[in-house]
Each structure stands twice: as structure tokens, then as C-alpha cells.
Amino acid sequence: MNPLASPRLAAVTFAALFAAVVVPSVQAAAATDAPRPWPPDQFLPVTEARIAALPTTEQPAWRAYWEISQKRRALLPAFDSEDHSPTTPSSGPPVPSTYSQGLKLNAPAAWYASEEARLVADHVVHWQVATGGWVKTGDYSRDPGPKDEHHDAWSVGTFDNDSTIYELRFLARVFSAGGDGERARAWRDSFHRGLDYVFDSQYPNGGFPQIYPLVGGYHDAVTFNDDALTHIIDLLRDINLRRAEFAFVPEPDAAEAGRRVERALQCILTAQLHGPDGHRTVWGQQHDALTLQPCAARNFEPVSECSSESARLVQFLMGLPQPTPAIIAAIEDAMRWFPARAIHGMTWNRNDDHGSGLVPKAGAPDLWARFYEIGTGRPIFGDRDRTIHYVFGELSHERRLGYAWYRTDPGAVFPAYQEWKRRLATQK
């Protein structure tokens, strides 16, 4: 019997293994595995030199991409592209994440025709960057001012933390809710500039960078973190299907959106990792733009197999209405990974300052570490000095409290998988 056929059976089966193997391995790690620095070149930017080293048949598309990115970058004033994030462990409070404010995507349909919504749409238009995208620090209760001009890498446009995608959805809803004249034309034109930005940002292999135009560093990597890529695909698929708020999109653009969806799906399949035995497993948080190999991101995010990002990718693939044989195989392969990495009967205490952070609790929801070491399957943790740890409690106070090192949300793949299998059986 396949243990995936019953999540409860899978949990019981792995619980015995966990008691005998996983807990001792955590204790052994504390005794034998010292923190280690990142190996060199854990992420590489897209460069002309790297493009020139690609197979000859791949170079023309990548050169064209590079040229368009450089032209968009030239639309901006000079900016500092260096990464100035902290590089030393800290005992201070966690550094908060940044999100734009003021967009409503779950309001009643009638609200998008209100003057309140239209004022927000006016502000969205004015916050749009010259490149066509949006930043992740927008305040849509007002227009941008001089204090909002940071002239850094994040100022050029990004998909991070739902940026650009949510602005495009909002503009489409307000424009489709009615209205004409100059204001409505500004909303529509802003939407089309943004859609062109999305089209131009897509890599020849179907992936998308975190920031566009390209600024280097880990920002050039294909980004699965925070659902960046799947949110882009969702938008393009809705445009392709001409769903209600996107009925105004010209047919050629809608058709192009569909082609972009297919390329992005192929990127997901190609990027799926392989275990030591050669079988496919899951995905990293970010993957190199040119090779699609897993890469590091922020200073505390090492190369790894990532549980939460992979769970959301699998759920996304299971939501596709007519999965191809390749997509079905990718899902089945990934679903073998989750029960093998689950931690049973434990809760996580992020205040633990020297141990594993795991506390026994009967009946607790299964946990997964955020990052697993590729090849060994062991949980790993990172700090701001680019060190990799096997013991959670070794991390600085700021990183222990400021990151979700263990999560329960990957457990949602099991009921979703059961429903997907039932739905798939009805399609045969």
C-alpha cells in the first residue's frame, strides 16, 4: 500500500522512524557539526560573459533579453545596485518585511466603481516606475514624493511581496468597473505598460527574476519564494482566459499571456531537483537564471530543498485543470518527499537559544523545517553572516525570532493530493 494514499498512515509510519532516527540525528548534529560558511558562488548574476558561455543555440534569445533589460534600466536615474543588507548576526529585534499598502483585491465588485477605488487607482498610476513595474513600498493613499525615491535596486520594479501583480489586478478591476475619459485611459495605459513589463521580464527559459530590469546579485535568480512565480502565472492565465476584469485586454496580448504561461510551467518542471538516487524531489527557494540549479538568496537563506515553497508549487500544479503527463509525474515525485521529511509529535519554540527548538507534544500538527540540506535531507538554518547551522539554537536572537524556520503549512499538500487524485480519476 502506498503510504501517500493515507496521510494518517504516513504520519504513523514515519513517527516511529522519527523517534528512532530524527531526534538522535539532531542531538548528534549538536555534538559533531559546527557551523560552516557558505561555499563560494552560491548565487551568480546574469552577465554578458555568462550568456556568451551558453550553448550557441541558446545565446541569441538571452542576448536579446539582456539588451531589453539594459534599455529598461537606462530609463532610470542612476541607482545603487549593491546589496546593503546586514552581514553580521544581531541580538536586536527582527527586521520587518516590506509590503505596499492600500490595495484591496477582495472588496465587493461594486466598490471598484466608487470614487474611493478610483482615487487609489490614480495613485497606483503615479507610483508606477518608468520601467513599467512597481516597488514594494508603495502607499496608495497618496502620490509618491521625494522621500519615496530611494535610488536602490528595489526602486526599479519588482515581483517581491506581491508587487506589480497586485497593482495590475487592481487597475484591471477599477477600469473594468466602468468610467471613461482621461482617468480611465490612464488606468488602462498603466495596465498595458505593466503587462509589457511582465512579458519583457520573463527569461527565455520561462522563469522570472525577483527584480527587473536586472540588477545583479540573488535578485536575478528565478524566484519561487513568496509565490512570486506562481502569482505571475495566475495573472497571465486569467488574462489569457479573458476573465471578467480582463475582457478589455486585446486578443493578441491575451494569446501572448497564454504562451508565457506554458513557458513558465516548463521552467517549474525543469527546475525540479533530484535526490542522490536520481529521483526528482522538490524545489529550492530560488534557482539560477541560466542553469536553473538551486541557489542561495538573502544572507541567511542557503542553497537547500525548501518545504513551504515546494508545497505551494505542488498545490499550484494540482490546481491546473488539465495537467499534462509531465506535470502529473512532477506532482507524484514531489509527494514522495513530504512524508519523508515530516517531523511528528513536536512543536517549535523559537526562543530556544541553544537546542533544536523542538518540544515534544502529542498530537501536534506535523512540522517541516524551512530548509533541508540537499543530499542528506537534514534541516539547516542560516544567519546573516552567511553561515549554515545544523542546530537552531546557535542562530542569533534576531534570526531565531525573525524567520519561520519550522512550518506546518506543507501539511496541506496531503488533503489537496487526495482531492487531486479523485479529480484526476474522473477525467480519465
* Model pLDDT, residue 26: 45
Confidence at residue 57, expressed as pLDDT on a 0 to 100 scale = 98
Task: Give phi and psi for 220, each to the nearest 5.
Answer: -80, -15
| pLDDT for position 427 | 86
Interhelix angle 307-318/325-335, rounded to 10 degrees, is 140
Active site residue 240: no
pTM for this structure?
A: 0.91
Q: Is 298 a catalytic residue?
A: yes
Which residues of the chain are modeled with pLDDT < 50?
A: 1-31
Which residue bears the cell 505598460? 193
What DSSP string describes 392-409?
GGGS-HHHHHSS--EESG
User: For position 377, which CATH number holds?
Assistant: 1.50.10.20
260 inside domain = yes
Note the pLDDT of residue 354. 82
Looking at residue 115, its pLDDT comes to 96
Examine the domain organization and report whether 112 and 194 are in the same domain.
Answer: yes
Q: Is 36 helix (H, G, I), strand (E, B) or coil?
A: strand
Same domain, 312 and 233: no
Count of structural domains, the chain: 2
Which helix (H) or strand (E) segment is 237 a member of? Answer: helix 228-240
For residue 237, the model assigns a pLDDT of: 98
68 burial level (CB within 10 Å; 0-12, 13-18, 19+): middle
Query: Within this chain, do residues 81 and 17 fall inside the same structural domain, yes or no?
Result: no
**Of the listed 50, 63, 73, 161, which one is catalytic?**
161
How far apart are alpha carbons 292 and 311 in whole angstroms? 19
Do 365 and 222 belong together in one domain? no
The pLDDT of residue 32 is: 57
**Helix (H/G/I), strand (E/B), else coil: 152:** strand
Q: Report phi then psi at 306, rounded to 5.
A: -115, 125
What is the pLDDT at residue 255? 98
Boundaries of domain holding 421: 1-32+304-428
| pLDDT for res 129 | 98
Looking at the structure, do residues 316 and 374 belong to the same domain, yes or no? yes
What's the confidence (pLDDT) of residue 428? 72
| Contacts for 118 with CB less than 8 Å, ≥ 6 apart | 174, 179, 183
Question: Which member of 169, 173, 298, 341 is catalytic?
Answer: 298
Cα(293)–Cα(334) distance, integer angstroms? 17
C-alpha cell at 13: 509510519
